[in-house]
Amino acid sequence: MARRKIIAGNWKMNMTPTEAVELVNTLKPLVVNDEADVVFCVPAIDIIPAMEAAKGTNICIGAENMYYEESGAYTGEISPAMLVDAGVKYVVLGHSERREYFAETNESVNKKMLKAFEHGITPIMCCGETLEQREQGVTMDFIRQQVKVGFMGVTADQAKTAVIAYEPIWAIGTGKTATTEQAEEVCAGIRQCIKEIYDEATAEAVRIQYGGSVNAGNAAELFAQADIDGGLVGGASLKPDFGKIVNYK
């Protein structure tokens, strides 16, 4: 059975609550698509107003991060229970910006993965290499480690519901995009890695996105690849053109 496409916008640190409502209202009619899951992953302060604005539409509201503890003295963090209570169904975990600027590791991402599954939240786990790693020829070694550690302790049934986003760091916000062949090669390698950890059925069920300067011009070709099941879209998700990415055919 063909995997259902999932196209998610990652707003990053953009949009005030007022702007978030305006953007959701602008995009609502443009992102209607019965054949794909559409997710807006928004800053924490925007979750509730965006959720209200998206009511009755095909848009799911997701979070950009969460902590791996239930509650406690973790000033500034957000717990999975808070996200569930707000109606959040998806959470981006391990984005390269979180790893680079906030010292997240494969191990901390794994803790968050386990906690997300525990609370019924679908993780969108990010992985990807730097330009230096690509030039050294260690892309798949690096990404396989991210995936293997990220999925430690995750059951096959849980893994089948997960989303993995391959985002080459050198293509995020740079305007550079991996070629279709490069993107498909790594996404196929990630699926092979999941097959080695679990089995073929699990690997076939996992949805793998490509992210990194996805736009209206390259979405159709990227999403047509056998192992690319949609995209995690940054800057372009803040513009009306996001509707063209969602309706890429």
Q: Average of pLDDT values for 177-200? A: 95
Range with the poorest average pLDDT among 103-112, 144-153, 211-220, 239-248:
211-220
- Does residue 174 register a pLDDT over 90? no
Question: HSE-up of 78 (CA within 13 Å, CB side)?
Answer: 19
Q: What is the pTM of this model?
A: 0.96
Distance CA 249, CA 246 (A): 9
Confidence of residue 178 (pLDDT cuts 50, 70, 90): confident
- Give the residue numbers annotated as catalytic, written as ranges: 95, 167
Q: Which tokens go with 221?
A: 């070709």
Q: What is the pLDDT of residue 176?
A: 77
Please count the other Cβ atoms lying within 10 Å of the Cβ belonging to residue 226: 9
Structure tokens at 35: 């054949």
Supply the pLDDT for residue 1. 61
Yes or no: say if 49 and 20 are a contact pair by the CB < 8 Å rule. Answer: yes
Looking at the predicted structure, is the pLDDT value of residue 26 above 80? yes
Total tally of structural domains belonging to the chain: 1
User: Which CATH number characterizes residue 146's domain?
Assistant: 3.20.20.70
Closest-CA residue to 37 (of 60, 54, 62, 20)? 60
What pLDDT is attached to residue 93?
A: 98
User: Is residue 232 pLDDT above 90, yes or no?
Assistant: yes
Mind listing the pLDDT tens digit for each residue in 39-55? 999 999 999 999 999 99
* Structural domain range at position 199: 5-246
User: Can you tell me the distance from the alpha carbon of 48 to that of 67, in angstroms, rounded to the nearest whole number?
Assistant: 18
Whole-number Å distance between alpha carbons of 162 and 117: 9
